[in-house]
Amino acid sequence: MPSSLPSFLTATKGDLQKAAQLLAEGECVALPTETVYGLAADALNPSALKKVFTIKGRPLIDPLIVHVLDIEALKKIAEYDSRLEKISCFWPGPLTVVLRRKSCVPDLVTASQETVAVRVPAHPLFREILSLVNRPLAAPSANPFGYVSPTRAQHVRDSLSERCPWIVDGGPCRHGLESTIIDLSSPHKVRLLRPGPITLESLREKLGEIEVVTKVAPAQDAQVAPGMLERHYSPTTRVELFAHGAMPASTEKNSAILFLSRRKDFSLTAEIFYLSENNSITEAAANLFDLLRKLDTRGFAKIYVERAESAELGLAYNDRLTRAAAR
Ligand code: TXA
Ligand code: MG
C-alpha cells in the first residue's frame, strides 16, 4: 500500500519553520532529542496536549516533561530553586528536574499535581524549534504507551504511523536512554525518580545526599513517576536478563542473545548480537532500544540480554532492561 504520509522533515530552515508552525497551531510533531525522540506539543495549549495523550494511548495520570531553552524560560513555568545553580552544568542536557509548578501550566501537563517536570534539551534541532515557537514544549517519548522508546525517526513512524504524520529527522539519538529525573520539589530532599545519562554519582557530587526511589508498583502511585511502573519500555517478545559477564543458564529454541560486548568461545544455540563493539556501556545504551525494536520484529521466542555493572550509566541501562523484562 503506497503511503500518503509526509516524508520526514529535515534540518533545513524551511522544514524547521514548518515544524514550528505546526506546533504553534496546536499540532503534535515528533522531534529528536539527545535522549530519545519526543512527541512534542505546545505545553500551554490544553487541546494540543490532549492530542499527545490520544496519540500515545497514555493515561492522563501520567504527567509530561516540559522542555525549555534555558533557566529564564524555566522560571516562567516553575518555581526557581537555588539548588538548580549546582546542577546547571548538566544543562542543556539529559537531566529533568521536578519543581513546584506555576499556575500557567495546564493540569494536563502535571496530572493536576503541584509539580512540573522541566528539562533543557541539548539537541540543536529541538533547540532551534523551541526558539522558533517561542513557547515551552511538552514532549513524552514518541512511542505508544508502554512500548520501547524511539531513538530514530523511523522508530516513530514504525509505531505511530498516521497517528503522528510529522516527524523531524535528526538522526539517531546520542544517548538512547531517557533523561535522568530528579525531584527537587521538597526543599530539604532530593530524590532520583528515574536513572539516566546524567549519573547518580555525578549528581551526588553536586547535590549531596540523594534518595533513590525504586519501583513504584501499583497504578495508584503512578503520579509519583509512572515511568517507574514496573512494566514499561517493553518489547512484545519476552525478555530475560542474565548477569553481567555471565551466560544465560539455558536458552529456549529460536531465541536471541544480546551481549554487552564481544564474546568468544561459547556454545549456545541462539542468534547472537552485540550491543557494543568495544565494551562501552555508552555505546551499548545508545544501541539498546534500536536493537530491541529490530529483534522484536524477528519472531524470536525469547531475547536474553546481558545486564551491566550497576554503576554510572549501567544503572539506567539495567533499569530499562528490568522494565523490559517485567511481565
Ligand atoms: O529524555 C526524556 O526525558 C524524553 C525526551 C523526549 O525528553 N522524555 C520522556 O518523557 O522520557 P516520558 O513522558 O516518556 O517520561 C517522563 C516521565 C514519566 O515517567 C512521568 O511520570 C515523569 O516523567 N514525570 C513527569 N512529570 C512529573 C512530575 N511532575 N512528577 C514526577 N514525575 C513526573
Ligand atoms: Mg516514555
Of residues 98 and 279, more confidence is placed in: 98
Residue 35 Cβ < 6 Å to ligand 1: yes
Q: Is the pTM of this model over 0.85?
A: yes
- Name the residue among 129, 151, 142 with its Cα closest to residue 69: 129
State phi, psi for 82 to the nearest 5 degrees: -65, -20
Amino acid 6: pLDDT: 97
Q: Is the pLDDT of residue 116 over 90?
A: yes
pLDDT of 231 over the 80 cut? no
- So what's the pLDDT on residue 266? 72
Q: What integer best gives the mean pLDDT of the chain?
A: 93
Rounded-to-integer distance, Cα 42 and Cα 104, Å: 13
Instruction: Give the ligand 1 atom nearest the CA of 181.
Output: 23
- The ligand with the least distance to the CA atom of 147 is 2
pLDDT over threshold 70, residue 217: no
**Domain ranges in the chain with CATH number 3.90.870.10:** 7-212
* CATH number attached to the domain at 238-325: 3.40.50.11030
pLDDT score, position 219: 43
Among protein residues, the one with the nearest Cα to ligand 1's atom 33 is 225
* Ligand 1 atom having least distance to the Cα of 149: 14
Confidence (pLDDT) at 228:
58
- Which ligand 1 atom minimizes the distance to the CA of 62? 21
Task: Look up residue 272 and give its three cell numbers.
Answer: 547472537
pLDDT higher at 265 or 155: 155
Distance 8 CA to ligand 1 centre (A): 25
Cα separation of 105 and 145, whole Å?
A: 23
Q: Is the CB of 141 under 6 A from ligand 1?
A: yes
Position 268 scores a pLDDT of: 79
Tell me if 153 CB under 6 Å of ligand 1.
no
**Nearest-ligand number for the alpha carbon of 121:** 1
Q: What ligand is nearest to the CA atom of residue 96?
A: 1
Atom of ligand 1 nearest to the CA of 101: 29
pLDDT for 227 equals 52
Q: What is the reported pLDDT for 278? A: 86
Check residue 58 and give its pLDDT: 93
Please state, in angstroms and rounded to a whole number, the distance separating the CA atoms of residues 67 and 109.
11
pLDDT single digits (tens) 75-113: 999 999 999 999 999 999 999 999 999 999 999 999 999
Ligand 1 pocket: which of 79, 100, 141 to mutate (most atoms <8 Å of CB)? 141
Q: Ligand 1 centroid to 65 CA: how many Å?
A: 5
Residues 6+ away with beta carbon under 8 Å from 1: none
**Nearest CA, atom 6, ligand 1:** 38
Alpha carbons 150 and 127: distance in angstroms, whole number = 19
Cell 549528581 maps to which residue?
A: 203
Looking at the chain, which residues constitute the CATH 3.40.50.11030 domain(s)? Answer: 238-325
Ligand 1 nearest-atom number relative to CA 110: 29
Query: What pLDDT score was predicted for residue 224?
Result: 52
pLDDT at 41: 99
What is the number of other CB atoms lying within 10 angstroms of the CB of residue 81?
A: 16
* Cα–Cα distances in angstroms (integers) from residue 130 to residues 92, 124, 142, 178, 258, in the given order: 13, 10, 17, 19, 37
Separation of CA 94 and ligand 2 centre (Å): 14
Looking at per-residue confidence, does 62 or 264 come out higher? 62
Q: What percent of the chain has pLDDT over 70?
A: 93
Closest residue CA from atom 32 of ligand 1: 225
Q: What confidence score (pLDDT) does residue 86 get?
A: 98
What is the atom index within ligand 1 of the atom nearest the CA of 111? 29
Phi then psi for 71, rounded to 5 degrees? -65, -30
Closest ligand, as measured to the CA of 227: 1
Please measure the distance between the N-terminal and C-terminal CA atoms of the chain and give it in whole angstroms.
Answer: 35
Q: Is the Cβ atom of 52 under 6 angstroms away from ligand 1?
A: no
Q: Per-residue pLDDT averaged across 155-163, rounded?
A: 97
**In CATH, which of 3.90.870.10, 3.30.420.40, 3.20.20.70, 1.10.3720.10 is domain 7-212?**
3.90.870.10
Residue 89: other Cβ atoms inside 10 A: 11
